[in-house]
Structures are given as structure tokens and as C-alpha cells.
């Protein structure tokens, strides 16, 4: 079967995602849709609004045929690693194309990737500016273009990963519709995920912007998972752990462990903690990722080991998705997992298992061990 791949977070699944899904089928001519979806934590390092099983179920009930988890060591990463990990899994699943939204789908992203090769690496030594700022300074000098919109940044990253790994599927960008990515208000049937989360937080109406299955799920949400709720655990860990342990944490660099430990000792609330750890060198998204990896006690060595040993953890599918899995499973070399046993918990899926256990602060449901895929007939 001809398959189209989607890279998603669905936090939550909304009408814009449904439009993207329909357009993906249209422009690709695919018979089956395969979504690689972040688990219980987003690319920015924040807990998702509802767990991965509920989001995967809503996706399949809204038209996706197969949902596979993007493991935490790919999902909670800057755009280039997030994109590379997602495409690696879609390539393993033999998709024919990958469709993604972009603010400027008309741009020649291959040209921008080529322009990056001409960058002056010494131009990345400014400690009073983020990497993204320095990157865009050089990109604008080379091409006149800057990558500031989230989906354009990912479009660039997808293109770069495809070229680097010589993937044979097509990349098909489509125009992002409706609200801007960071809009905070719902002004129609298509709204940003940020606006929907804000509406839920404020007790405002959001049903017009999401499919009914997602609306019913959100209606049962008693509180939105947040770093404010996780912070007491992080604070205690930062205070108790020796500097040598903190220094081994994945993404910890340039003395950030000292800054975080000092901030934890001074800050009783998460807002103050972020203020004390923020510098011009790091974005808030980068810091959130470091916080999460610190809380999960994940080391550089663990991420390196898992990064070289990917897997396909199936979260949900319908009958068409089942047929596609049956068709490709004999060709797929990457481990295909439909149920997590104790060996997988302690080995291949250990990082996701630990992330799932942390997420159980927000839900009583077991996130991985012995949890079967959601099947929609």
C-alpha cells in the first residue's frame, strides 16, 4: 500500500490537524496514513495535555490509520534531532511520502540547506545570543531568509535529514492554515494547540476547534499537566544530587548544573526558578528539556545508546493500519513493539518507561508496561 507519513504531537488533536490529515492524503495520493507522534512530553520538554494513548486514540478515530510513538530521546530535542528521529522511523516503516505544514511551503528548503554549508563556524561563538539567533544571522546573510516560524524550522530540518540520509520518500510541504502557532485565542473552527490549551486552562469554550472525540477527552481533564506541578520534584533532586551527578545529565553543559542547583535553593516556585536559570545563551525550550532530563536522571551515555537502537512502539491503529503493519512487518528491520514486557521495560524502552512513570503523576493509567495498542474497528 502507498503510505504517507506525518510527524505530530497532537497536543491536543484539533481541526487544523484534521485538515492537515485530509490534505496529506490528497497531495500524496496515499491509501494509508502513518503518524509518528511524541509520547507524554513535547519537543519543548513540557508534559502533554493528555496522555499518549488518549491522543493516539483521538487521531485514529479522526482518520489516521496507524500511530507509532516517537521515543523521548528523539521527541524532546531541538528541531534537527526531532526531525531526524521522526524521519528515521518513517523510513523504517517504508512510507512513500511525508507531508508537513509550513508557514512558507513555497520556499526552496534544499537551497537553504545548501546555504548552511557555507556558514562560518566561528560565527557561533557568541555567548550572549542563542544558537538560533546566530544561525539566522548567517542564513540571512547568505540567502536573505530567516527561519523564525516553528513549522518552517521543522521543514528545514526534515529537508536536511532527508538529504543527509538519502531517504527515498518525497517531502511534501503544505500551507499551514488558520491561527498562528503561538496564538492564544480561539477565533474559529481552526485554532492553534496553544489557544486550545489556554481555553481549557481558563475554562473557556474550545469544542468548536477540536473533533468531538478530543473534546470529550478534554472535558474529563481535571487539571492541565504543567511544570509547576513537577517543580517540587525537580527542586528536591537539584538540592540533593551532587554536582558530579548533575553534570552527567544529558544536555547539561557550560556550568548549567551550578546555575540550576543555586536557583533551586533560592526558588520556591517554578517561575522564579526559570528566571534565575535563564541566560541569553539558552532558550526557554532548551532549559525545559534540560529540566526534564535532569528530573528523569537521563545521562548522555544513555541517550547515545538509545539513539543508535531505535524501535517502533505501536500506540494505535484501525483495520487499514493493521493491514499495513502486516504488509511491512517482514520488511522492517527496526524492532516493532506492540506490548512492553519487563525485558523491554528494563532495556530498549527504559527511557520511555521512566518518562511514563513520571507522567503518572497526572494520570493513574499505566503508560507502558503490558499496555496494548488501542484498536479502532
Render pLDDT for 180-217 as a digit per residue (tens, 0 to 9): 545 667 878 889 899 999 999 888 999 999 999 999 99
Confirm or deny that 101 is annotated as ligand binding: yes
Question: Residue 273, annotated ligand binder?
Answer: no
Say if residue 303's pLDDT is above 80. Answer: yes
Does 98 show up as a binding residue in the annotation?
Answer: no
330-to-92, 95, 334, 346 alpha-carbon distances in Å:
12, 15, 10, 26
Q: Residue 19 annotated as binding?
A: yes
85 in a known ligand binding site: no
**Dihedral angle at the C-alpha atoms of 309, 345, 45, 70, nearest 10 degrees?**
50
**Residue 9 labelled as part of a binding site:** yes
291 appears as a binding residue in the annotation: no
Task: Give, as one character, the DSSP assignment of residue 222.
Answer: S
Is 10 within any annotated ligand binding site? yes
* Section 267-275 average pLDDT: 97
Tell me: is residue 15 an annotated ligand-binding position. Answer: yes
pLDDT of residue 40: 98
> Can you tell me the distance from the alpha carbon of 291 to that of 354, in angstroms, rounded to the nearest whole number?
15
Are 312 and 93 in contact by the 8 Å Cβ rule? The answer is yes
C-beta of residue 42 within 8 angstroms of C-beta of residue 76: yes
Mean pLDDT of 26-32: 97
20 is in an annotated binding site: yes
**What fold does the segment set 3-104+154-224+308-376 form as a domain?**
Rossmann fold (3.40.50)
- pLDDT tens digits, 43-78: 999 999 999 999 999 999 999 999 999 999 999 999
Please report, for the chain, the start and end positions of each structural domain, with discontinuous segments joined by +: 3-104+154-224+308-376, 109-148, 227-303
Q: Is 13 annotated as a binding residue?
A: yes
What is the 3-state composition of the chain as percent helix, strand, coil, each rounded to the nearest 5?
A: 50, 15, 40
pLDDT greater than 70 at residue 312: yes
95 annotated to a ligand binding site: no
Please tell me the pTM assigned to this model.
0.94
Amino acid at each position: 500500500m502507498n503510505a504517507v507519513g506525518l510527524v505530530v504531537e497532537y497536543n491536543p488533536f484539533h481541526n487544523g490537524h484534521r485538515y492537515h490529515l485530509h490534505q496529506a492524503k490528497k497531495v500524496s495520493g496515499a491509501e494509508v496514513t502513518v503518524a509518528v507522534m511524541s509520547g507524554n512530553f513535547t519537543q519543548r520538554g513540557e508534559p502533554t495535555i493528555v496522555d499518549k494513548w488518549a491522543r493516539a486514540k483521538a487521531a485514529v478515530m479522526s482518520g489516521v490509520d496507524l500511530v507509532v510513538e516517537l521515543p523521548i530521546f528523539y521527541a524532546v530535542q531541538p528541531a534537527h534531532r526531532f526531525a531526524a528521529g521522526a524521519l528515521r522511523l518513517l523510513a523504517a516503516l517504508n512510507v512513500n511520502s511525508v507531508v508537513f505544514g509550513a508557514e512558507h511551503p513555497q520556499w526552496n528548503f534544499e537551497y537553504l540547506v545548501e546555504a548552511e554549508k557555507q556558514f562560518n563556524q566561528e560565527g557561533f561563538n557568541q555567548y550572549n545570543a542563542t544558537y538560533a539567533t546566530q544561525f539566522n544571522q548567517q542564513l540571512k546573510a547568505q540567502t536573505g531568509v530567516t527561519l523564525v516560524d516553528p513549522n518552517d524550522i521543522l521543514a528545514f530540518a526534515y529537508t536536511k535529514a532527508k538529504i543527509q540520509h538519502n531517504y527515498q520518500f518525497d517531502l511534501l510541504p503544505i500551507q499551514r492554515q488558520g491561527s498562528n502557532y503561538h496564538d492564544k485565542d480561539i477565533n474559529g473552527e481552526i485554532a492553534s494547540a496553544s489557544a486550545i490549551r489556554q481555553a481549557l486552562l481558563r475554562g473557556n469554550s474550545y469544542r468548536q476547534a477540536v473533533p468531538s472525540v478530543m473534546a470529550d477527552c478534554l472535558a474529563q481533564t481535571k487539571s492541565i499537566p504543567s511544570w509547576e506541578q513537577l517543580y517540587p520534584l525537580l527542586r528536591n533532586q537539584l538540592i540533593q544530587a551532587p554536582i558530579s551527578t548533575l553534570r552527567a545529565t544529558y544536555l547539561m553543559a557550560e556550568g548549567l548544573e551550578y546555575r540550576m542547583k543555586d536557583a533551586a535553593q533560592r526558588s520556591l516556585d517554578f517561575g522564579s526558578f526559570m528566571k534565575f536559570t535563564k541566560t541569553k545563551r539558552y532558550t526557554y525550550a532548551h532549559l525545559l528539556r534540560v529540566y526534564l532530563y535532569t528530573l528523569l536522571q537521563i545521562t548522555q551515555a544513555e541517550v547515545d545508546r538509545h539513539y543508535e537502537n531505535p524501535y517502533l512502539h505501536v500506540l494505535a491503529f484501525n483495520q487499514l493500519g493493521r493491514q499495513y503493519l502486516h504488509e511491512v512487518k517482514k520488511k522492517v528491520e527496526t524492532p516493532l513493539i506492540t506490548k512492553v514486557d519487563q525485558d523491554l521495560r528494563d532495556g530498549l524502552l527504559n527511557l520511555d518507561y521512566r518518562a511514563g512513570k513520571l507522567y503518572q503523576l497526572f494520570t493513574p493509567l499505566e503508560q507502558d508496561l503490558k499496555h496494548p495498542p488501542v484498536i479502532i474497528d
